[in-house]
Structure 1
Amino acid sequence: MAEDDRKSTPDELDRRLKGVRQAYQAGTGRSSGPATRGAGGEKLGVGMRIAVELVAGVVAGAFLGLMADQWLGTKPWLLIVGFVLGCCAAFLNVYRVAQAEERRSKAAQDEKKS
């Protein structure tokens, strides 16, 4: 095989690259572009947000309760109250995130049907 046979023109390389991209997109069902995220990425993001909401609510409530205990000298009562209120706030935030995700999912399904 001669060396000239292996060299391709830029136009031929572009054509072959476009063909490979089209075959890949047809096989995976994904659209092109760096901003596109798969469904797994979106679900992972929602899961991480829920985890952060849970941890942040509990930690914030316990911290505020501990600080109030030290300031007022009522150990451990305000810590317990802060922990319980933080847990309630965390679960309320998780519920709100879940409701928003459900509304977004239904809107996307309705958009697909239209």
Structure 2
Amino acid sequence: MAEDETGQDPIGQDVRLTSLDQRLKAAADAEKVRTGTVQREPGKGYSQGSRVLTELIAGPAGGALIGWLLDGWLGTSPWLLLVLMVLGIAVAFRNIMRISSQRAE
């Protein structure tokens, strides 16, 4: 196609302007990500870390709570508390190993 003296295609849009618009949009998007104005979805590693933290807290705490309640009811203080807390820790570590073996995508 023939260009006029300004360098623009008389029929369609200038290719240089289209390229400039695309580069400006890409730069604006990169700036939004850099400044944190765009929320990015958390990755799989972040969600796995949250699950590991939940297991580390819930396993021993759940075992200790159940053991404490059973100790008060059965009068075996502090043995069921200790046994069920250790059991909760073991279950938490087993679950953490299972979470760690999942393949990250």
**Residue 46 of structure 2 corresponds to which residue in structure 1?**
44
**Residue 94 of structure 2 corresponds to which residue in structure 1?**
92
TM value normalised by structure 2: 0.62
The 3 A distance-change label for structure 1 pair 23 and 85 is same
Q: Deviation per CA, 1:23-53, whole angstroms, max 9, x where unpaired? A: 4678xxxxxxx89636xx4322221210111
The 3 A distance-change label for structure 1 pair 18 and 74 is same
**Residue 24 of structure 2 corresponds to which residue in structure 1?**
20
TM value normalised by structure 1: 0.57
Counterpart-to-counterpart distance in 1, 2:24 and 2:60: 50
Counterpart-to-counterpart distance in 1, 2:21 and 2:65: 56
1:34-113 correspondence to structure 2 within 5 Å: 37=41, 41-100=43-102, 103=103, 105=104, 108=105
Q: Deviation per CA, 1:55-110, whole angstroms, max 9, x where unpaired? A: 0011001111111101100000000001100000110111111112xx2x2xx4xx
Counterpart-to-counterpart distance in 1, 2:70 and 2:21: 64
> Radius of gyration: which is bigger?
2
For 1:45, give the aligned amino acid.
S
Match of 2:101, SS state, is helix
Counterpart-to-counterpart distance in 2, 1:84 and 1:17: 62
Residue segments in structure 2 that go unaligned for 5+ positions in a row: 1-17, 31-37
> Superposition RMSD on alpha carbons, in Å?
3.0
Count of paired positions: 81
